[in-house]
Chain A
Amino acid sequence: MVEQLSQKLEVVVMFKKIDYLIGGPKIYNNSDNPFSKDIIKFLSNFSIQLNKENRYSKFADISSLVFWCREKNLIRLKKKYNQKNKIGLGIIFHITPSNVPTNFCYSLIFGLLTGNTNIVKVPSQKFDQIKIICDALKKTMKIYPRFNNQIKIIRYDSEEDQITDYFSKRCAVRIIWGGDKTIQKVRKFELKPRSKDITFSNRYSISLINLDKINNPKNKNEIKILIKNFYNDTFLNDQNACTTPHLIIWLGKRKKFIDIFWNELLNFVKKNYDHQSINFFEKYTMLLNHILRLDNIGKFINYENLIYRLKLKNINNLNHLNIGKWGLFFEFNSKNLKILNSFINENYQTITYYGFPKKKILDHILVNKLSGIDRIVPIGQSMNMDDLFWDGHDLFSALTREIKVI
């Protein structure tokens, strides 16, 4: 009796540590058909509400979310997937990354589109974007109360193991948006026997640029577009995203263009990048750590502390330690794509490219059976989410079940 009471008390104490941004302590378990008419209505209305909340398009990441979630795109997605005999798995527990303000919302939308009930843990840092998104969600939920039980947005300290344990025991799928340390930590909490984890581990990405396909180095416009696209893939997220390139591989003969590229990038960064003092210090520390650890660094070129170029002498011992942040890039000149065979492993996710037919890169990976690379996208679109296929996971299949009828 006393034990029961104290257990109850513990749960009450635990709930007090949870900040419910949307929904409350009671957990529902509703499954639905994927891409139902209602959910598409709900989400396209949410896109409109969100656009209103994001006044003057203040947050670029919210604007992309609005665009992604518009009705036209949802219908396009619906057409991509076969929904016959499919139904959502039940409760999805989303543990979203601390440093991408809008990621939690994409995760939630994946869960909703696939017909599931969602418990979404958002970062403890109180990003404005989170509030804006929740406000828009609440407004939409007032219009479509049918989804009230399917959306719960919570915030709690990651150190509160009891809470993570509580939701882990109750979900059908746990989505852990990395990195490796978080995955390791969360995996300690057991799921129900039939439940499963979808994890997004630390991954690394590279760029391939074909120098010979740059029509005219004096054609400022072409370079300008390339620079802006490259900047969006890198500086915009401080090279923290798993899709951001750390290593640039230059192919082709017109090496003159390499210096032009970096100088132009410097000019663009100076105009557009929001500098933070601490990042200069940490980037310098990172640079020196790389120099001490790696034996294949040839030359270092510094562009006003905003861009660090580390030219590699060879690429034999390249491993995922070679990461850059805040504008630290490794680079290597190569004659052909064979160079990929020497270092690509399962830790590599995206190749962003310029001046190649994408089929050529794809064929190279398939023919040589490389164990990594899940995405091949043009420079500038590294973060694009074309469907529910992300970081090598087919989320549509993973979040639904199919009833076999024979």
Chain B
Amino acid sequence: MTKNFFHKINDLNKHHYKNSPSYKKIVDILFHEKKFQSLNDIPYLPVNLFKHNDLKSIKDRDVFKILKSSGTTTGIPSRIFLDKKNAKKQSEVLNLLLGRLIGKKRFPMIIVGNKSNIIDKRSFDAKTAAVLGFSLFAKEIFYLNESNEINYEGLNRFIKKNANERFILFGFTFDIYQILINDFKLKNLKYHLNSNSIIIHGGGWKKLENKKISKKKLNFLLSSKFKIKNIINYYGLIEQTGSIFFDCKICGSFVTSEYSDIIIRDNNFNILKSNQKGFVQLLSSLPTSYPGHSILTEDIGEIVENNCKCKKIGKRFLIHGRTIKSEVRGCSDV
């Protein structure tokens, strides 16, 4: 599998080298001495590069959709250029990967968050992409109101209308905790949510770590309150929307698919072994319209080895949050 994946990535790398002058410039200056013999040799672009530069491997007239994720601290959005073909491919693969977990049927979906919040706010944690992607699974969508509160009357109507169906509850990890665990009043619910329903969440654990809420604890709280056991955590980049990572229900690690791979690098960008923490580099065989096939993130992660069943599926890894912002030495801004 790995060999196959390398050839795909290598071909993709050649494709971007040929079709994206910006990518070619970077490779020529930084990676000119490299012979691309394995996945480890493939160049990697830092995730923030998509904020300040229009990187694309297609002609302007072929741009079909621009995915924007507003930046985290700087507020500058990444811009991902999709042509029709690539947009289709990315959502097909997202569907396929999610479908493996939840089946192919479409469900009534409850977005745990409000519409504008989810579409506009921070994200290269795949917020926008996730909503866009996951909503393909929705038969009908229920959102929270503008101030992130639950309109119980509306929710009751929504549940009644879709009685006996499995629901998907989708939201960002912190919102799921804040809204479903802290705010949600079960007594206001006239109808039960089917216990076969599925909760899907992603976006990082930083805020919950501060509250000492682990994944285990969150899952416990959710299943005790709503009797829902099927809880899925995802991780991904808007730059690689399709090749998303879901966690293994048993060991909790994220798992790569046939469309993705992961490499961990140290400060010197040398490759680290399993169980060593470093910068996360993510590879995806999907991006064709923009050079996003190999991206270095500022997330810190590690590849894990264990005997869980998921080892048959792919490489397993944990994410330990983003590299801590350092204090600035020198003089400039107030």
Contact = CB atoms under 8 A, between A and B. Distances in A.
B188 interface: no
Interface stretch (B89-97, B192-200, B324-332): B324-332
A97 B30 contact: no
Nearest to B31: A300
A242 B331 contact: yes
Contact of B333 (A97, A280, A299): A97
B334 A96 contact: yes
Contact of B49 (A238, A242, A285, A300): A285
B334 A98 contact: yes
B30 to A, nearest CB: 6
B267 interface: yes
B326 A178 contact: no
A281 B49 contact: no
A240 B269 contact: no
Contact of A100 (B25, B49, B52, B330): B330
Nearest to B23: A292
Contacts, number: 111
Interface in B277-313: 279, 296, 298, 300
A285 B331 contact: no
B333 A288 contact: no
B321 to A, nearest CB: 12
Contacts of B30: 287-288, 291, 300
B330 A291 contact: no
A198 B327 CA distance: 26
A29 to B, nearest CB: 24
Contacts of A97: 331-334
Contacts of B331: 97, 99-100, 103, 177-178, 237, 240-242
Interface residues of A, number: 46
B334 A158 contact: yes
Interface in A311-332: none
Contacts of A238: 328-330
A275 interface: yes
Contacts of A236: 329
Contacts of A299: 29
A377 B298 CA distance: 38
A285 B325 contact: no
B224 interface: no
B323 interface: yes
A237 B53 CA distance: 28
A303 to B, nearest CB: 10
A95 interface: yes
The listed residue with most A CB atoms (<10 A of its CB), out of B29, B46, B328, B330, is B330
Contacts of A278: 298, 323-326
A318 B332 CA distance: 21
Interface in A254-296: 275-281, 284-285, 287-289, 291-292
A80 B38 CA distance: 67
Contacts of A277: 267, 279, 300, 323-324
A292 B28 CA distance: 11
Contacts of A291: 25-26, 29-30
Nearest to A176: B334
A240 B334 contact: no
Which of B324, B326, B329 has the most chain A CB atoms inside 10 A of its CB? B329
Contacts of A181: 333
A125 interface: yes
Contacts of A305: 267-269
Given A158-B334, A281-B46, A284-B46, A292 B267 contact: no
Secondary structure type dominating chain B contacts: loop
Nearest to A100: B331
A244 interface: yes
Interface string A128-172: 000000000000000000000000000000100000000000000
A278 B321 CA distance: 12
Nearest to A238: B329
Contacts of A96: 334
B45 A288 contact: yes
Given A98-B334, A99-B333, A178-B333, A240 B49 contact: no
Interface string A232-248: 00001111111010000
B22 interface: yes
B298 to A, nearest CB: 5
B48 interface: yes
A363 interface: no
A240 B332 contact: yes
Contact of A288 (B46, B267, B269, B330): B46
A292 B327 CA distance: 27
A95 B45 CA distance: 38
Contact of A240 (B26, B298, B330): B330
B333 A292 contact: no
Contacts of B48: 285
A142 to B, nearest CB: 30
B298 A281 contact: yes
Interface in A62-90: none
A304 interface: yes
Contacts of B300: 277
A301 to B, nearest CB: 11
A303 B223 CA distance: 52
A202 B334 CA distance: 12
A297 interface: yes
Interface in A350-390: none
A115 interface: no
Interface string A393-404: 000000000000
B332 A288 contact: no
26 contacts: A97-B333, A98-B333, A99-B330, A127-B327, A178-B332, A182-B334, A238-B329, A239-B330, A241-B331, A242-B331, A244-B330, A277-B267, A277-B300, A278-B298, A278-B326, A279-B326, A281-B46, A288-B45, A289-B49, A291-B29, A292-B22, A292-B53, A297-B29, A305-B267, A305-B268, A305-B269
Interface of A: 95-100, 103, 121, 123, 125, 127, 158, 176-179, 181-182, 202, 236-242, 244, 275-281, 284-285, 287-289, 291-292, 297, 299-300, 304-305
Nearest 5 pairs of A and B residues by beta carbon: A240-B330, A237-B330, A99-B328, A276-B326, A285-B46
Given A288-B46, A289-B52, 9 more contacts: A99-B331, A237-B330, A238-B328, A238-B330, A239-B330, A241-B331, A278-B324, A297-B29, A305-B269
